[in-house]
Amino acid sequence: MNYSGSVRKEASKWYYVIELGKDSNGKRKQKKKRGFKTKKEAQAALTKALHELNSGTYIEPSTQKLGEYLVQWLEYKKTTVAESTYTTYCYILKKHILPEFENMSLSTLKPLHIQQFYTKLLNEKKLHHNSVRKIHAILGNALERAVKFDMMLKNVAKLVDPPKESKDEMEVWDVNEVLRFLEVAKESHLYMVYLIAINTGMRQGEILGLSWDGVNLDEKVLYVKQTLSNDGKTINKTTKTAAGMRTIAMPDELVTELKRYKLEQKKHRLQMGSLYTDMNLVNPTSVGTPVIPSNLRRNFNIFIEKANVKKIRFHDLRHTHATLLLKQGVHPKIVSERLGHADTRMTLDRYSHLLPNMQKETAQKFGELLYGHKDSSHLGNQNGIKEPIQQYVTNW
């Protein structure tokens, strides 16, 4: 069926009428839209509507409130994402998105509204650029589903550019700072948490959620299979990403410490008896329950001061691990696998500031390997090569 319509004037305003045929009772059906200032505007809108109707792309504007829709979307997401991700969605919706758009209908949401919202978050609420980018991603994801279900013609969030990603200056410790901190942190009941973080590059939630089932002391590996939620209340039987499910080789020193620590933990558990809640965690509290992340961060800052080392975040222990490996010459792919990155590009992008120095060191090492010494004055003399090329192996 080809739809037709006409433009008409009522008082000082113009409107269009589209003939939609007849209903089951033989009654004439029409679609009208009013409020155009000029005949030209009304005609343009009519032409667009007729094209969409005749091509099957027309969507009746939804009058549903955005707040109501987002709550429904959140319920859907609860079944498709990890609990920690769902908790993040809940917080961002209730804290930022709903207060701004709760009473606006899907049909009236425009790109300008979203752009003004981001400006407000940046300038008035002083949110970090990356936080606004996360809000943008969530809002865009929600509206994309509305488009999929024919509630919106297009995803207006896609028409808005989010703030440029801001890369914070990375703070890491050198080897001396690591050793100074670990020496002092031996006093802490969370010493094993710090030791694992520095030796493996695991995330906070991965370490606090680590079970003894995920530790193979004979094979000297850790299996990252579950995480502790940000509030410390839930053990998630999954990791942040699919790549997060991984196996990490341990140095002998960490294996030795874990063996000693496991025996001590067993003695403590027997002493506590019924007061101990055995969740089989590697790093529990004194009564066996998960360590609250905020308590870990508080303890971490205390021992940073005691060790008199540069103040960093707990997450920077992960960056420290990666940085020390890369400076040793370990291949970025190996570092990427240990960190649980989706691909090596993420690792190279995050630690690209190290590459120039690594290039120089690699060139220097190759020169020493090929020519036997650092002096390059003999390069023009073929007899200057003192030793044959030998296999160059870097061990971790």
CA pair distance 175, 185, nearest whole angstrom: 15
Verify that 185 and 238 share a domain, yes or no: yes
CA pair distance 219, 64, nearest whole angstrom: 57
Q: At what angle do helices 252-272 and 191-200 cross, to 10 degrees?
A: 150
Verify that 106 and 240 share a domain, yes or no: no
208-260: per-residue pLDDT in tens?
A: 999 999 999 999 999 999 999 888 888 888 766 676 789 999 999 999 999 99
CATH for 330: 1.10.443.10
Verify that 241 and 121 share a domain, yes or no: no
Verify that 244 and 301 share a domain, yes or no: yes
CA pair distance 203, 197, nearest whole angstrom: 7
Residue 212 covered by a domain = yes
**Residue 266 in tokens:** 């067993």
Q: What single-letter amino acid sits at 367?
A: G
Its pTM surpasses 0.85? no
262, 250 Cβ separation under 8 angstroms? no
Verify that 14 and 71 share a domain, yes or no: no
Verify that 192 and 296 share a domain, yes or no: yes
Could you give the C-alpha distances from 17 to 25, 57, 59, in angstroms and in order?
A: 21, 18, 16
178, 197 Cβ separation under 8 angstroms? no
Per-residue pLDDT of the chain (396 residues; tens, 9 = 90+): 678 899 999 888 999 998 888 877 888 888 888 888 999 999 998 898 888 777 766 556 667 899 999 999 999 998 888 777 888 899 999 999 999 999 999 988 999 999 999 999 999 999 988 899 999 999 999 999 988 887 887 899 999 999 887 766 678 999 999 999 999 999 999 999 999 999 999 999 999 999 999 999 999 999 999 999 888 888 888 766 676 789 999 999 999 999 999 999 999 999 999 999 999 999 999 999 999 999 999 999 999 999 999 999 999 999 999 999 988 888 889 999 999 998 888 888 888 766 666 667 777 777 787 887 555 444 444 444 334 333 333 334
Q: Say whether 216 sits in a helix, a strand or coil.
A: strand
Residue 46 covered by a domain = yes
Verify that 124 and 258 share a domain, yes or no: no
Verify that 72 and 21 share a domain, yes or no: no
Verify that 37 and 76 share a domain, yes or no: no
Verify that 335 and 211 share a domain, yes or no: yes
How would you class 218 by CB atoms within 10 Å of its CB: exposed for 0-12, middle for 13-18, buried for 19 or more? exposed
Q: Which of 198, 193, 207, 162 is nearest to 178 (CA)?
A: 198
Could you give the C-alpha distances from 376 to 130, 369, 384, in angstroms and in order?
A: 47, 12, 9
86-138: per-residue pLDDT in tens?
A: 888 999 999 999 999 999 999 889 999 999 999 999 999 999 888 999 999 99
Please enumerate in sequence order all residues whose Cβ is within 8 A of that of 321, keeping only pairs 6 or more positions apart, or say none.
197, 198, 199, 200, 201, 338, 339
Verify that 185 and 135 share a domain, yes or no: no
**Residue 154 in tokens:** 């297009």
How does strand 4-10 pair with strand 28-36? Answer: unpaired
Residue 167 covered by a domain = no
Domain count, the chain: 3
Residue 388 covered by a domain = no
Range of the domain at 48: 4-55
Beta carbons within 10 angstroms of residue 40's beta carbon: 11
The single-letter DSSP state of residue 212 is G
59, 41 Cβ separation under 8 angstroms? no
Residues in the chain: 396
**Residue 275 in tokens:** 């007061």
Verify that 120 and 203 share a domain, yes or no: no
